Structure 1
Amino acid sequence: MSPLLYIPAFAIRLALFHIPAIAETLASRVEIVTPITSYKRLTEGLYLFESHVPPYDGGVFHQSPIFLALFQLLNFLPSITVPILYALTDITIAYLLTEITTKKQAIYGVKPKLEVEKGAKGIEPWVVGALYLFNPLSILSCVSKSTLIFTNASIVLAVYYALQGEKSLGMFWVAMASYLSFYPAMLVAPIILIILNWGANGSTILKKDIVLHCVLLYATWLAALLFLSYQLVGSWDFMGATYGVIIFLSDLTPNVGLFWYFFIEMFDQFRPFFLVVFQLHAFIFAAPLSIKLSEHPIFVTFMLCGIMGIFKSYPSIGDAALYLAFLPIHDELLKYMRYGFLTANLFLYASTLGPIFWHLWIYAGSGNANFFYAITLVYNIGQILLLVDVMYAMLRRSFDVEHPESLGKEVVQK
């Protein structure tokens, strides 16, 4: 991608970082940061850690111990270092997306195509990177200093190294993403599929041996990260304060997800049952998608990132920024999508009214929690509609490629 795109994207982020009113406001917006990605909570945990007080005792800090070590180191550097780190991480994600697009187009170039696609050039890789860099969701998530950006970078790195056939690095980065945010554990299957389908580089090793090797690598890396965390903080308390909060939803701070309002209203005797149902629902799609679309593992990664962005316990707009970045990589599906206009309007509608309803509830006192939760439901309906539409596009295109005679005709199941 041309440096001419990196430079303005980097400059925009640094400029916004240096406008305190914007940076501080974004850092406290519930649509952008959550209790497990908040930079403000990270600084509180870091203060306790440096004061030799267990950082997880206060019930405020819910992030991985590795962030304590990273940002403690950054404290010894000039204050500009943190904004530069966030901006460079976003630039790195964009660069990796262009590389993933290039590799995907080379792989799909030899696959069967529709007649109208033959000779047609796919989307330019730099466009995919530009769509991420100048997506308002990406910019807002970066400037808010949400630590979700490091999870997103880990996921993209996992896909990139899997495409290169680097099993150890691919599984390390998906283990890192799982360690940071728990839910990316569902991406193990599509990352292994990428290695099996495209990253084996003509290897004669049996597929089951590659799968076993990858699973062992993932378990080893994850165990190493957890043990390193234990060494950093001197106890296993971080397990309950990070993953326990994610699983059991002990912090009911409002966000753009489906959990918080539902469990505020939930009777205590029903809470364990519905926690199991909600958490299982987030993971239950991983196996069927990986089986049905085993020949399209990057698309499976996109779908599962979208599902995480909807059904995880503490989602934010940064989750949407990630899976929306994967969407243009599959530009061949866009012509099959039917609800693009409706989906775009739902996103715009929610983006406009979300902050207004939050203000009415929290500051003006003329609304209540129903106002904000209703608009988050609209936002999630838009996300669900987008995923359903893209899934239809993938299945219909695959069917048309296999049955060219049915092109343009309605398919009726008998």
Structure 2
Amino acid sequence: MHWLSCRETITLCIVLRVLFALGLDFYLSPPTSYAYSVDNGDKVVEFINNGPGLLSASSPLTLYANLKESLWLYQRGMDPYGSGIGQVGSPLYLAFSFFPTIAESGPSKTQLLSKLFGIFLWTAPDAFSAWFLVRIWKARASTSTKSSSSSITFVLPLIYLLSPYVILSSLARSTSVWENAILLGAIAWACESESEFKTKPELNNSNSKSKSLLFLALRVHLSLDALILLPPLILLLLGSPESRLTEPGPFGLYLRSTILRAALNVLFEFMVYWTALALISTLIVGHWRWMSTTWGTSLSLPSMTPNPGLWWYFFTEMFDHFRPFFLVVFNVHLLMYVAPICIKFQHDPLYALFILVGILATFKSYPTLSDHGLFIAFWGIFPEVYPYLRHPFPTTLVLIHSALLQPLFAHLWLSHGTGNANFYYASTLVGACAGGMAIVDAVWAGLRIALEKHGKGELKLVEGEEREIVTQQ
């Protein structure tokens, strides 16, 4: 069977998404209407945020309305971080003000160009994300796997670009689609980086390591909780992206002093980029207060806006004098997974990074649909673990169940008034259960694949021993 190439697949998906976005826009604001103008492009955003993506497509840090208002204030010489907007993103987003603006009034051709510009601006990062996913797959796959599984380069972009999770976030103009593209770019270049310890010389590129660290620094700058992805990325930069799940063992370096020196050099370069981005942001707005509304937001949860996460309802019911303690508990809870996952999967750092992406999407303070869409798309890079999954079908059903319940219960609660916050929070708990089941299954399969290969003869002796050995593992 002839499969479309990666570029053809991405082009086809982007065309379909642009046509869908234009059709939805024309349906909500017909050209014959006297009110048809550039501002009506926001009707699609309002429709998504008040409909299918209600409370899920955007978070307070990625909300398009906050970005638009902060840009409006910045263009008029006012400080967006002291105007009471709420949670405003990084000052680097203010660079959007330098994009060429199209007149808000004029002939319909100008208005159509403006709409196309907006659609492409929020669809382009998804195209780059799909391209980065394919590059990660190619870096991980062996030569024999590439020749026998060319369909992956067709399926991966298809899964990501046509995922409802990603499409809704893009239509809502959530900045999370940019964050996904930046993170995948960091991982892709880490897989292709040049290192004296790499086992794939054909992937070596002298600039890839710096690009990877710069993109990760930018991703952490936009949202501080992505810092948990730094350790596995460092392991990936020093190690290899190829699949080593069947051969668990110590990290692929020999001298501890060499490991430490190489890791410190990578960490230092990352800190230089991160510090430079912080200084640039400070120069843009002229003060340091932006940190409290960007980095501080993900740590202190100042906004109780309902979202698919687990934090908001818990802290809504929390007594104020207990709040600081449980803020520490919830933040440490995210950090506590990093060391065990990186140690257990030190032989396959890309798989460790994949699991931490799922943990971040499930347990971060302000998750959005695009976070879950990224975790789902990442599964396509690890087809070798599919036969060893323990409960993939129930996990998929629970995920679909949550995806259908969340907009329904949110609509009943906020629009019809026939429900309450408990309805919506119950649906988010179901979504968290689906994320937890997927993470546990990924860990199980990643460990079981090696156990099946190396202990197959021993495990066939007694059925009870097999269960006992797997449990110990």
**TM > 0.5:** yes
- 2:8 matched to 1:4? yes
Q: CA deviation at 1:120?
A: 7.2
- Residue identity in the other structure for 1:384: G
Aligned with residue 76 of structure 2, among 40, 51, 55: 51
- Structure 2 match to 1:283: 335
SS at match of 1:32: coil
Query: Contact 1:151–1:177 at 8 Å: present in 2 too?
Result: yes
- Structure 1 match to 2:196: none
Distance 1:175 1:107, change over 3 A: farther
Deviation per residue, 1:179-212 (Å, 9 max, x gap): 011111111111111111128x999993222211
- 2:120 matched to 1:84? yes
Q: CA deviation at 1:167?
A: 2.0
Q: CA deviation at 1:8?
A: 2.7
CA separation in 2, counterparts of 1:108 and 1:277? 46
Deviation per residue, 1:251-310 (Å, 9 max, x gap): 111101001111010000100010000111112111111111011111111111111111
Distance 1:192 1:280, change over 3 A: same
Deviation per residue, 1:389-414 (Å, 9 max, x gap): 11101111122223232466523147
- 2:292 matched to 1:256? no
Identity of matched residues, %: 32
Aligned with residue 68 of structure 1, among 75, 94, 107: 94
Query: Contact 1:17–1:23 at 8 Å: present in 2 too?
Result: no
CA separation in 2, counterparts of 1:61 and 1:262? 20
- Residue identity in the other structure for 1:15: L
- Structure 1 match to 2:110: none
CA separation in 2, counterparts of 1:123 and 1:389? 24
Please give the residue correspondences for 1:336-351 in structure 2 after superposition, counting only pairs within 5 Å. 336-351=388-403
- Structure 2 match to 1:179: 221
CA separation in 2, counterparts of 1:197 and 1:402? 23
Q: Which sections of structure 1, spanning at least 5 residues, go unmatched?
A: 111-118
- 2:415 matched to 1:363? yes
Deviation per residue, 1:134-184 (Å, 9 max, x gap): 211121122211101111111111111111112211111111110011111
Please give the residue correspondences for 1:20-31 in structure 2 after superposition, counting only pairs within 5 Å. 20=25, 21=28, 22-28=44-50, 29-31=54-56
Q: CA deviation at 1:382?
A: 0.7
- 2:338 matched to 1:302? no
Larger radius of gyration: 2
- Structure 1 match to 2:449: 397
Distance 1:292 1:51, change over 3 A: same
Query: Contact 1:27–1:145 at 8 Å: present in 2 too?
Result: no
Structure 1 ranges of 4+ moved more than 4 A: 107-110, 119-123, 201-205, 406-409
SS at match of 2:309: coil
Deviation per residue, 1:83-120 (Å, 9 max, x gap): 2122121111111111111110128969xxxxxxxx97
Aligned with residue 243 of structure 1, among 295, 301, 305: 295
SS at match of 1:393: helix
Q: CA deviation at 1:238?
A: 0.6
- Residue identity in the other structure for 1:6: I
- Structure 1 match to 2:201: none
CA separation in 1, counterparts of 2:144 and 2:329? 37
CA separation in 2, counterparts of 1:4 and 1:293? 35
- Structure 1 match to 2:65: 40
Query: Contact 2:10–2:157 at 8 Å: present in 1 too?
Result: no
Query: Contact 1:27–1:40 at 8 Å: present in 2 too?
Result: no
Query: Contact 1:354–1:372 at 8 Å: present in 2 too?
Result: yes
SS at match of 1:411: helix
- Structure 2 match to 1:100: 136
- 2:178 matched to 1:150? yes
TM-score by length of 1: 0.92
- Residue identity in the other structure for 2:21: F
SS at match of 2:382: helix
Aligned with residue 324 of structure 2, among 272, 295, 303: 272
- Structure 2 match to 1:314: 366
CA separation in 2, counterparts of 1:108 and 1:360? 52
- 2:267 matched to 1:215? yes
- 2:421 matched to 1:385? no
Query: Contact 1:94–1:133 at 8 Å: present in 2 too?
Result: yes
TM-score by length of 2: 0.81
- 2:133 matched to 1:129? no
- 2:18 matched to 1:14? yes
- 2:396 matched to 1:332? no
Q: CA deviation at 1:61?
A: 3.9
- Residue identity in the other structure for 1:181: S
Query: Contact 2:225–2:298 at 8 Å: present in 1 too?
Result: no
Q: CA deviation at 1:122?
A: 8.2
Query: Contact 2:160–2:377 at 8 Å: present in 1 too?
Result: yes
Distance 1:25 1:291, change over 3 A: same
- Residue identity in the other structure for 1:104: R
- 2:239 matched to 1:197? yes
Tell me whether 162-171 or 258-267 shows the greater mean CA deviation.
162-171
Q: CA RMSD in A?
A: 2.5
- 2:467 matched to 1:411? yes
Number of equivalent positions: 405
Tell me whether 177-186 or 82-91 shows the greater mean CA deviation.
82-91
- Residue identity in the other structure for 2:7: P
SS at match of 1:33: coil
CA separation in 2, counterparts of 1:280 and 1:287? 12
